[in-house]
Amino acid sequence: MKRTKILHIFGIMNRGGAEMRTLSVMSALKEQGVDFEFCVLSGQQGVLDDVIREKGGEVHYCKLGLGFVTRFIGLIKSGQYDVVHSHVSLVSGFILLLARLAGAKRRVSHFRSSADAATTSVVRRIRNVFLKRLVLANAHQILAVSYGSLNGYWDGVWQRNKRFSVVYNGFNIPSIPYQNDFWNSLIKGYDGSNVIVNVGRMDPPKNHLRQVKVFQRYLARVPNANMVFIGKESDAVKQSMIDYASEHGFASHLVFLGEQPDVLPYVRHSTAMLFPSLWEGLPGALIEAASVGVPVLGSAIPGVKEVAKQLPIVEYLELSESDEAWAAKLQQMIEGKPDYDVAIEAFNRSDFLLKANVDRLYGIYTG
């Protein structure tokens, strides 16, 4: 059987949503004759590089800068890839132009967010118009993780072009036995009180300081509750969270666990997830929480609303609502005691299953 070779383009292979979701389909597609390799444009090693190699893949370091064009075209030609699949937002237009010049016969651009983080300057806007034209000229297929992501970048365009489609990220439903003493060694003096969790690196879209302020109001309603933060930390963001909590007398209720190789056990043992993001493509952490029956209160942004349509354990509020309103809603959801079995049944009927993701990608790569 002829195997199909895919070259994925990322900035660096660290634990981000796009990176983790791509790795999650790697083994299943390998069994179907599809092999993954990765090109990282930062030229830097990432924490997932060894995982890729353990799964039978390769990582190529091709730093943007002087000599990049020659090196990248050389990589495409020598690798003889069947598909170049770029995950670097609008920069994919430039990447896929080079892939086309190198002879790559199938080229895919994949949009993972719902907004460009820096669209305010005139120069940036002009750049984006140019890069969008390159995407349209050089991509055979243009994928997005949600309709919110398509609308964020391509509203008014994707509806008239058959090359655009949504491919939802896929997740397994894990079996994680519940442990009553799970938090005992992680939260000092833990007494069985509610644990609110957030999973996400400390980047501006994740709105970490707002999380702390909402939790402050929730703590006033539910004394002794704790909030756990999981994900890559920013010293500046973390310090601002601690400073605010210290000033208002509840810093001891914040728990920082940093990056974890498997976040699901922590989420499974949480009471609820708080997720007031400013923007998202398809919020993976939120879907993972739903996959283990944990209620989620998110912001009323397109990606969250799209998930909530299929997973009723996910609810949302407008970001313009007060911290008190968020805390009241969070308390109401928790006291409503969502039914675990009902939540899992809904997840099994949803479009967010791993098998559906694998099947869609297999068709894209081999069709």
Rounded Cα–Cα distance for residues 211 and 197 (Å): 10
At 337, is the pLDDT very low, low, confident or very high (cuts 50, 70, 90)? Answer: confident
Cα 32–Cα 35–Cα 37 angle in degrees, nearest 5: 160
Nearest Cα neighbor of 270 from 318, 220, 215, 322 is 215
User: Crossing angle for the helix pair 92-101 and 122-138, nearest 10 degrees?
Assistant: 40
**Residue 277 pLDDT > 90:** yes
pLDDT mean over 195-217: 98
What class, spelled out in words, does domain 4-170+352-366 have in CATH?
A: alpha beta
Query: What homologous superfamily is domain 195-348 in, according to CATH?
Result: Glycogen Phosphorylase B; (3.40.50.2000)
The predicted pLDDT at position 119 comes to 58
pLDDT mean over 265-284: 96
The tens digit of pLDDT for each residue in 295-314 reads 999 999 999 999 999 999 99
Rounded Cα–Cα distance for residues 64 and 94 (Å): 11
pLDDT mean over 265-277: 98
Same fold, 4-170+352-366 and 195-348: yes
Poorest-confidence range of 253-257, 286-290, 321-325, 336-340? Answer: 336-340
The tens digit of pLDDT for each residue in 132-147 reads 999 999 999 999 999 9
CA distances from 29 to 3, 36, 38, 215 (A): 11, 9, 15, 41
The predicted pLDDT at position 274 comes to 99
The tens digit of pLDDT for each residue in 32-88 reads 999 999 999 999 999 999 999 999 999 999 999 999 999 999 999 999 999 999 999
Domain chopping of the chain, boundaries: 4-170+352-366, 195-348
Rounded Cα–Cα distance for residues 161 and 62 (Å): 32
Instruction: Please name every residue paired with 247 in a beta bridge, in sequence order, or none if there are none.
Output: none
Phi, psi at residue 6, to the nearest 5°?
Answer: -115, 135
